[in-house]
Amino acid sequence: MARFRLSVKHLKNSVIFLKIANWVLIVMAWVAALYVYPRLPQKIALWFSSRGQNLLKARKSPLFFLYPLAQTLFFFGVSFLVQKFYLKKRYAKEKFISDYGEKRESLLELDKEFLWLALIFVNLIFIHIQTSLVLLSHGIGTGINPYYFYSIFGILVMLVPYYAIRRKLF
C-alpha cells in the first residue's frame, strides 16, 4: 500500500497560502477597527468577564486599538520566535544527508504549516473579542459567543495531535 506523501513544493505552497491568510486577517482587523472607531458611542466597552461581572466601560479613546495592536504584536512575536529559535534550533541538529535532505525539508515545511495555521485560529480569537466589544459598546451583543470561542479554541488544541500524526507519517 502506497503512503500519501506531500511534496516539499506542495507544503511550501500551503505555507505561502497560510501566511497570506494571516496577513489578510491582521489587515482586516485594523481596517475594521479604523472603520468602527469613529462610529462608536462616547462610552465604549474595554473588557468584559465571562462570569457575568459588570462590563468595564470607559470614555472612547485610542485604548480601543489595544486589541488589534495586541493581535499584531502577538502574531509577529510568535512567528519570529518560533522561526528564529525553535525551527532553526530543531533543524540545525540534523546533518544534511543526501537521502534524508528532502525528508528534513518536508518536516520543516510541515512545522511551518502548523505554525501559520495555528496563528490563523489565534487571529480569529482576537477578532472575535474585538467584535464582541464593539457590539457591547453599541448595546447590541451580550459578550463573547461561548460556542464560537470554545470551538475555535478547541480546533486550535486539536491541531497539536493532528500535526503530530502527520509528522509520524513522514
Q: Is residue 119 part of a domain?
A: yes
Q: Are 38 and 25 in contact (CB under 8 A)?
A: no
Domain membership of residue 1 (yes or no) is no
Three cell numbers, residue 39: 462610529
- What pLDDT shows up at residue 111? 84
Q: How many domains does the chain have?
A: 1
Residue 56: which H helix or E strand, with range? strand 56-59
CA 50, CA 131: separation in Å to the nearest integer? 15
Residue 102 structural domain = 8-169
Look at residue 2 and tell me if it is in a domain.
no
- Distance from C-alpha of 167 to C-alpha of 111, rounded to nearest angstrom: 9
Task: Quickly count: other Cβ atoms within 10 Å of residue 70's Cβ.
Answer: 13
Burial degree of 53 (CB within 10 A; 0-12, 13-18, 19+): exposed
Task: In the chain, count H helices and then E strands.
Answer: 5, 2
Residue 36 lies in a domain: yes
The pTM for the full model equals 0.82
Grid cell in block for residue 55? 462590563
- Report pLDDT digits (tens) over 78-121: 988 887 777 766 666 555 444 456 677 777 788 888 889 999 99
Q: In this predicted model, what pLDDT tens digit does every residue of 40-60 receive, in sequence order?
A: 999 888 776 655 556 778 899
The answer to whether residue 156 is domain-embedded is: yes
